Amino acid sequence: MEVKLGFGAVPRPQYVFVSKESDYCWYLLSDDKKPIPIYDRALTGVITEIEVNKKVETSHGEAEKTDIHILADKPYVIRSGSESYFSKSLLLSLDALTSQQLSRPLTIAVSPGDKTIVFCTIYDPVTYRSVGVSWDGHKEIDWQALGQKVSLKINEHYNLNQDQNYLQIMPEKREGFIAQTDTYLAQLNWTADQGREFLQQKYGKRSRLQLTDAEILDFIDYLRLQINASYQA
């Protein structure tokens, strides 16, 4: 993003709000708090941060929101309700991407559903392919845990060169991620010896318990890719 010298607007993020209206699905707010419709359906940029279950004061009282920070022609923050279909489809899509994919520009698109529902679809702006997600069993998903997992992948990668210890997985969530690797390893029919050999070659460690938070998430991404490849073979 080019830095323009001289007088100009205050350099702060532009907030974008999600709402299904008659002919648009998101909008800005003017200085006097009036909605400014955005008729474009997609925003392309680099996702730099995501904040989940963020408590925000609204005109209707305190509410939990999901804020996703995107660096495009200017910094944007897309804000939606944590329990909204937009936020949930966003998390499902981001979880399906690897840390490497998350470091590249992505296109976030809105699409209207029934009644007041707005869905989120993520595309690769180079290939135009969308990220496929499944809503099977979505009522049983621990959305808070999924949100933390996604935020760790995004925030850890973005801050990797600044502070290797910037983020930490909560102990109880870490156990859940270890359990997730158990499931993936079983699907791949890996033996314990195969797992240890891979960890030694990839990370220089003999046990998943020795992996850093970033390495656990990277290992999960790798196993998921192997499973998807086996389905496509």
Segment holding 66, helix H or strand E? strand 61-71
Examine residue 147 and state whether it is found in any structural domain, yes or no: no
Same domain, 135 and 199: no
155 within a domain of the structure (yes/no): no
Residue span of the structural domain in which 223 resides: 168-233
Q: What pLDDT, on the 0 to 100 scale, is given for residue 104?
A: 84
Percent of the chain with pLDDT over 70: 89
φ, ψ at 191 (rounded to 5°)? -85, 170
Place of tokens 């290797």: 164
What count of residues does the chain have? 233
Position 163 scores a pLDDT of: 42
pLDDT (0 to 100) of residue 20:
93
Sequence-separated (6 or more) residues with CB below 8 Å from residue 18: 25, 26, 78, 79, 80, 81, 84, 86, 110, 118
Please indicate, yes or no, whether the overall pTM of this predicted structure exceeds 0.75: no
**pLDDT, tens digit, for every residue of 51-103?**
988 888 877 788 899 999 998 888 899 999 999 999 999 999 998 888 778 87
Chosen domain end from 140, 156, 186: 140
**What pLDDT was estimated at residue 160?**
45
Residues in the chain predicted with pLDDT less than 50, given as ranges, are 160-168
The single residue listed with the structure tokens 């046990």 is: 207
Structure tokens at 164: 């290797």
Identify whether 149 is part of a domain.
no
Evaluate whether residue 63 is within a structural domain: yes
Assess whether 100 and 188 both reside in one domain. Answer: no
Q: Using CA of residue 172, residue 173, residue 179, residue 185, what is the dihedral sign?
A: negative
Q: Which pLDDT score, from 0 to 100, does residue 216 have?
A: 81
Do 19 and 127 belong to one domain? yes
Tell me, yes or no, whether 150 lies in a domain. no
Contact yes or no for 222/214 (Cβ under 8 A): no
How, if at all, do strands 75-81 and 14-18 pair? parallel
Q: How far apart are the first and last CA of the chain?
A: 41
Query: Running DSSP on this structure, what letter comes out for residue 209?
Result: G
